[in-house]
Amino acid sequence: MHEQINFAIEILGTISFSMSGSFAAMQKRLDPFGVLIIAFVTSVGGGTVRDLLLDIPVFWMHDLLMCGVILITSIFSMIFKSIEKNFKVTLFIFDSFGLGLFTIIGVQKGLNADIHPLICIGLGTITGCFGGIIRDILLNRIPLIFRKEIYASACIIGGAIFLILNTFTDLSYTIIQIFTILLIVAIRTFAVKYHWQMPKFYGYNNDAEM
């Protein structure tokens, strides 16, 4: 049962990040091939880094299903583009759900590899964030994780809550998964709606120092 749920979460995460990457690429007016490439790196970037760190086979290189899901989702996104006009809202929705879904996948992969819980949170954050980092770099944008928006912090909080609930409560594993995924999405949503921000550094005035 757990394996089926984890598989469903991975598929949904792949679809969410594929949609996110596709809409981000279309915002930049890339051609269909460019849209497909951006969708692919957004979907598999975080998981690839995670698997390399865990020294295990990279998941998508042995699973054509994931590649097929990305291809179909990208094509659907390009068709849906003629109907959907508000790229910004659509991109945010899919990016938030992808973030939540992939964060939990990363934490679970770490637990399965008997990694220390704190490192598991880091793996969850990497899985959730790195695809978006690569996407934004390729699209010549400052990645969200490096801006003042609440992004990686949502992964860290969600991953920590997941481990706490899994360790100290008797809640079913499925309920914990769903709750923490929705928690990450909620944190991202409220952060944007109410302008929650991380503090940022300002440049020094060199003239003043002289």
- Structural domain harbouring 7: 2-209
pTM for this entry: 0.88
d(CA 132, CA 125): 11
Q: Tell me the pLDDT of the chain (210 aa) as tens digits.
A: 677 888 889 999 999 999 999 999 998 999 999 999 999 999 999 999 999 999 999 989 988 899 999 999 999 998 887 666 666 787 888 999 999 999 999 999 999 999 999 999 999 999 999 999 999 999 999 887 887 678 899 999 999 999 999 999 999 999 999 999 999 999 999 998 887 877 766 665 554 444
The single residue listed with the structure tokens 């994931």 is 66
Q: What is the dihedral of CA 112, 116, 119, 123, to 10 degrees?
A: 0
138 neighbors 167 (Cβ within 8 angstroms): no
74 neighbors 22 (Cβ within 8 angstroms): yes
The single residue listed with the structure tokens 């690839």 is 48
Which residue in 55, 36, 59, 37 sits closest to 46, CA to CA? 59
Number of domains in the chain: 1
d(CA 20, CA 23): 5
End-to-end CA distance of the chain: 66
Identify residue 104 by its one-letter amino acid code: I
Q: What is the dihedral of CA 70, 73, 78, 82, to 10 degrees?
A: -160
